[in-house]
Amino acid sequence: MNPFRDKFVIALPAYENGVVVVLMYRYIEDVVAVNFYNVWFVYTLVLAMCEKITIILAENIKFMNNNYQKCIKVLSLLICVVFAQYSGFSKTTNLNNTITTVDDACSGTSNVASQGSFSTGYSYQFQTVGNSVTITATLLDTDKVGVVAYIWQQTPFVETPMPTTGGLTFAQTITGQTPGATIHYAVKFAYSGGMSVTQYLSYVVGENCGGGGSTDTVAPTDFTAAVGTIGSNSVQFLLNGSDDSGSVIYTITYGSSTATTTGTSGSQQAFVVNNLNADTAYTFSITATDAAGNAAANNPIVLQATTLEAVENTPCAGTSNAAAEGTFSTGYTYSFQTTGNSVTATFQLLDTDKVGVVAYLWQQTPFVEWPMTASPGLTFTKTVTDLTPGTVVSFGVKFAYAGGLSRTLYYSYTVGDNCTGTVDTEAPTAFTATVGTITPTSVQFLLNGTDDSGSLIYTISYNGTSVNLSGNSGSQQAYVLNGLDADTIYNFTVTAADLAGNMAANNPISLTATTLAPTSSVPCTGTGTEAQQGSFSTGYSYSFQTVNGSDVVVTITMLDTDKVGVVAYLWTQTPFTEAPMQNAGGLTFTKTLTGQTPGATIGLAVKFAYSGGLSATAYIPYVVGQDCELPEDTEAPANFTATAGTITSDSVEILLNGTDNSGTVIYTVTYGSETVTVTGTSGVATSVVIDGLDPETAYSFNVEAADEAGNEAANNAIVVDATTLMIDNDAPADFTATVGTVTATTVQILLNGTDNSGSVTYTITYNGQTTTVTGVSGEQTTVTINGLSPEAVYSFSVVAADAAGNVAANNPIVLEATTMEDTNTECAGMSSSAQDGAFSIGYNYSFETVGNDVTATFTMLDTDKVGVVAYLWQQTPFTETPMTNTDGLTFTATVTGQTAGTDLAFAVKFAYAGGQSVTNYYTYTVGEDCGLGIETPELEAAVKLYPNPANNVVNIDSQLSNISKVEVYSVLGTKVMESANTQLNVENLSDGIYMVKIYAGNKSVTKKLVVQ
């Protein structure tokens, strides 16, 4: 039996030179009825076998009407070739009346995959409105979970997220399409465990697949054309018209040139004619037609326009509408400015037809993309640091907005160029050069100088080799010259110049340095300068030690002195993990890895994060259990000092310091018959307190320094004399306690008092809990009580005492405060809760969706932390992203390509000198705006409250939107005033601090007001 018996196969239409070819074949013994719809020509050929054939049509091919039915009975293979100039055929019918649906050019169903596979398949649909095409795809598979979809454009390849419209149906609108053009798109369905991609589907823009062969005879109406923005090389036209087809084609003719653009019926179309001559009068003739060729009754509209005088672009600034990707309806301006070795790029988008605009600065070589900071008027800026004056950099900007993106050309700029044409004849002054840290293979140079250009170029020469580097005027530049020979004398000459070639008067400065003798670097300890991320100006030292058989102690010290706010994280290579390290003093950090396998090799690196960036060491291999026998240590501690610190009636503090090649120094303090031993880090001050002493007694402390090998400091022993103070019987005086700022979950308490000891200890008791803090005598101390409930009344009992236990006469002071209403939403709020570390005051947070991007903004409110940097944590899958510091302690990060309705969980890690604090995770739904109660940074900057302090009338002004309501609260959380006016009369309020909550539409902001 023939294997094809009783099989009926349809080959989908294939387009050849604009003609649709449809093949159908069946090995049959039965009569088959075939229905053809909208078919113009049919040609039938019977073959005895399958072979490659060429079809040649005669001029007398028979015309066939709609619903033409023809019955054919054959015993062998039947091939029916249908040539259709419209939509082919729509269905076939067997004798048993079963229906097989056939796809058309606008919609269809398939299970063909270009990647992955489909268990059932998918359906798709194309629809044109004006010059926009909406693509809808539905996944029919029921065995896939967590499905998201992305639309793929074939040429050039672009991937765009598709919003869900319900269930497993997704839709995306592609704008700016040309009617009659053929586009090719596929859909990627991504799901838990994999992905499946449809085949590429072809569609003719404007095709409605309605059939019938009806003719459009309705011409466009309401056709208008006017001149918009005029530039030196461009004229903008504002075009409008309506047509029953949904789109209007506008043709602009000037001279021998013609430009065409398509707009949506009833919507204004802005179109810019570029490449015109400056300061020239032009006459433009504009017509409107539809796709069927029907012309508007008032064609043509003739417009006159004269281009502006030419404004010559410079390498520092200019205007253009040229695009490397996408288009600009009007254009953009750009400018570059150098300050020291930093360049600030400023771009302004002049187009007014784009919404939700964000910008990214692109550096051409090497390619880097940075988010830019937005300013009013679609102006965006970004400062790129650590550039070398005189080098050429090339920058462009990607403007992303609702529905697409446009990218400028790259513009080349020479770092340091001010484009003024003036000649710089002023030489650098105050030039200094000294030697810093020396290692066996490197010498550090500390360079400084001033110049009117803002930057200097330093040249270091030695042994026929020269090195050039740049620095900011008036700022010390640290540079490490690596690759030197150990235990070798080097002679260096250093010169300073500016970009114009003016030389410092005291050039050159001659320096001599001898590199250190080589050290033994074994698998357990060593030094390095190699970085896998960032860089090191001096380097780092490290050591590994196995204890308890399976625990590895990692100790690392950053040797760079030009970085502040340093924190460290230990990286394990396989599998990758990151863990905070404990600060062991200075820039030394330690971490113990427990439960390691003896004999296993582990790869370890350290990420140092600091104010303005991070540097990560290379991975260093270590074998667990290896003790790395070291050569005998014969080097004694040096630079040993010992002095008296704080003295009380029963204790003496001794301040110790010293250096040793082993990295540690052991100090022994002897007095009378007592001995105290303490171990410190080489080069780091160590403090030891000797207590239990008698008051008003003279003591002599004998202090010695040694290392673990027993080598003793040459200046042993140092004798420290100290006399303990008399017994303190004086109690703290002038003790005060008041309530400060109150929020929904926190109360701030302001404390003060004086004591002869120099410090006062305050104890605050509330709801069975106690908080203790020590302040300086005579100085206000601020304490924030966290974790309170909203709209609750709290009573705080505060007592003051000194270290000797003397208590203030007016103890206790009782304070009452009512926390405010909780206005936190999933879009914005304030908290002090931490999943790691702690916050002394707390933080603000807000989330905002723009298109498919979510911007997270966090502000740390703590004032007791320095060198703060921030990292955005996304919970699932976990990612850590550096955040951009926008102002003060406010940081932002944008997560792109999100799907509306998806829940995201974010937290922020604030790292600072001496530790870190991590917020709780906050869940946000992409696209959510949360209605009322959103506090935003934009509103914070736009709302002004003046005068402040005030004693009569307070004015409230908003540059962003109208004020809808104002509420005034006391520091105790009580609402004392509410108004819809932007002028508040506060003359009846008592003097003090108040919180003013200002509402503008669906947003709010809280300001502090002082009434006198």
pLDDT digits (tens, 9 = 90+) for 599-628: 888 989 999 988 767 889 988 989 888 877
Task: Name the band, by pLDDT with cuts 50, 70 and 90, for residue 766.
Answer: very high
Q: What is the mean pLDDT of residues 176-183?
A: 86
Spatial distance between the Cα atoms of 369 and 360, rounded to a whole number of angstroms: 6
Domain 733-818 has CATH 2.60.40.10: yes
CB burial of residue 56 (10 Å; 0-12, 13-18, 19+): exposed
What pTM does this model have?
Answer: 0.33
Tokens of 454: 């803002």
Tens digits of residue pLDDT in 83-118: 333 333 333 333 333 333 345 678 889 999 988 899
The predicted pLDDT at position 732 comes to: 94
The predicted pLDDT at position 762 comes to: 95
As a whole number, the mean pLDDT across the chain is: 80
Residue 702 has pLDDT above 70, yes or no: yes
Q: Which CATH class is domain 638-723?
A: mainly beta
Decide: helix, strand or coil at residue 942: helix
Least confident of 34-43, 408-417, 597-606, 912-921: 34-43
The residue extents of the domains of the chain are: 8-101, 107-204, 221-306, 317-414, 429-514, 525-623, 638-723, 733-818, 828-930, 939-1011
The predicted pLDDT at position 972 comes to: 54
Task: Name the band, by pLDDT with cuts 50, 70 and 90, for residue 837.
Answer: confident
The predicted pLDDT at position 43 comes to: 34
CB burial of residue 413 (10 Å; 0-12, 13-18, 19+): buried
User: Cβ of 746: how many Cβ atoms within 10 Å?
Assistant: 23
Residue 715 has pLDDT above 70, yes or no: yes
Longest Cα separation, the chain: 129
Pick the more confident residue, 886 or 29. 886
Spatial distance between the Cα atoms of 262 and 468, rounded to a whole number of angstroms: 56
CATH code of the region 939-1011:
2.60.40.3080
Tens digits of residue pLDDT in 296-350: 999 999 999 998 887 678 888 888 888 988 888 888 989 998 877 788 899 988 8
Tens digits of residue pLDDT in 643-658: 999 888 889 999 999 9
Tokens of 468: 């050039």
Tens digits of residue pLDDT in 910-963: 988 777 888 989 999 898 877 534 445 566 777 888 888 888 889 888 776 678
Domain 221-306 has CATH 2.60.40.10: yes
The predicted pLDDT at position 901 comes to: 84
Least confident of 266-275, 685-694, 730-739, 770-779: 266-275
CB burial of residue 1 (10 Å; 0-12, 13-18, 19+): exposed
Residue 734 has pLDDT above 80, yes or no: yes
- The architecture of the domain spanning 828-930 is Sandwich (2.60)
Decide: helix, strand or coil at residue 242: strand
Cβ 385 vs Cβ 288: under 8 Å:
no
Cβ 786 vs Cβ 839: under 8 Å:
yes
Residue position matching structure tokens 């490449």: 275
The rounded percent of the chain whose pLDDT value lies above 90 is: 28
Tens digits of residue pLDDT in 838-859: 888 788 899 988 888 999 999 9
CATH code of the region 107-204:
2.60.40.10
Q: Omega of the bond prior to 161 within 30 degrees of 0, cis?
A: no
Residue 1 has pLDDT above 60, yes or no: no
Among candidate residues 566, 499, 154, the one with its CA nearest the CA of residue 340: 499
- The architecture of the domain spanning 429-514 is Sandwich (2.60)
Taking the CA atoms of 74, 77, 83 and 84 in sequence, report the sign of the dihedral they define.
positive
The predicted pLDDT at position 294 comes to: 92
Pick the more confident residue, 390 or 612. 390
Decide: helix, strand or coil at residue 939: helix
Taking the CA atoms of 620, 624, 629 and 634 in sequence, report the sign of the dihedral they define.
positive
Residue 76 has pLDDT above 60, yes or no: no
Task: Name the band, by pLDDT with cuts 50, 70 and 90, for residue 241.
Answer: very high
Spatial distance between the Cα atoms of 685 and 677, rounded to a whole number of angstroms: 15
Q: What is the mean pLDDT of residues 731-743?
A: 90
Q: Which residues pair with 460 in a beta bridge?
A: 467, 494
Instruction: Count, in order, helices (H) and strands (E) of the chain.
Output: 1, 88
Task: Name the band, by pLDDT with cuts 50, 70 and 90, for residue 753.
Answer: very high
- The architecture of the domain spanning 317-414 is Sandwich (2.60)
Task: Name the band, by pLDDT with cuts 50, 70 and 90, for residue 733.
Answer: very high
Residue 549 has pLDDT above 60, yes or no: yes
Task: Name the band, by pLDDT with cuts 50, 70 and 90, for residue 744.
Answer: confident
Pick the more confident residue, 631 or 565. 565
Tens digits of residue pLDDT in 891-917: 999 999 888 888 899 999 998 877 788
Q: Which residues pair with 24 in a beta bridge?
A: 10, 80
Residue 152 has pLDDT above 60, yes or no: yes
Spatial distance between the Cα atoms of 32 and 35, rounded to a whole number of angstroms: 10
823 phi-psi bin (left φ>0, alpha ψ -120 to 50, beta other): alpha
Using the 8-state DSSP alphabet, how is residue 638 labeled? E
The predicted pLDDT at position 854 comes to: 92
Least confident of 98-107, 193-202, 553-562, 768-777: 98-107
How many residues in the chain? Answer: 1012
Among candidate residues 73, 85, 11, the one with its CA nearest the CA of residue 41: 85
Residue 598 has pLDDT above 70, yes or no: yes
Residue 168 has pLDDT above 60, yes or no: yes
Tens digits of residue pLDDT in 506-536: 999 999 988 877 654 456 888 888 888 888 8
Residue 79 has pLDDT above 80, yes or no: no
The rounded percent of the chain whose pLDDT value lies above 70 is: 85
Instruction: Confirm whether 221-306 and 733-818 share one CATH topology.
Output: yes
Residue 26 has pLDDT above 80, yes or no: no
CATH code of the region 525-623:
2.60.40.10
Residue 181 has pLDDT above 80, yes or no: yes
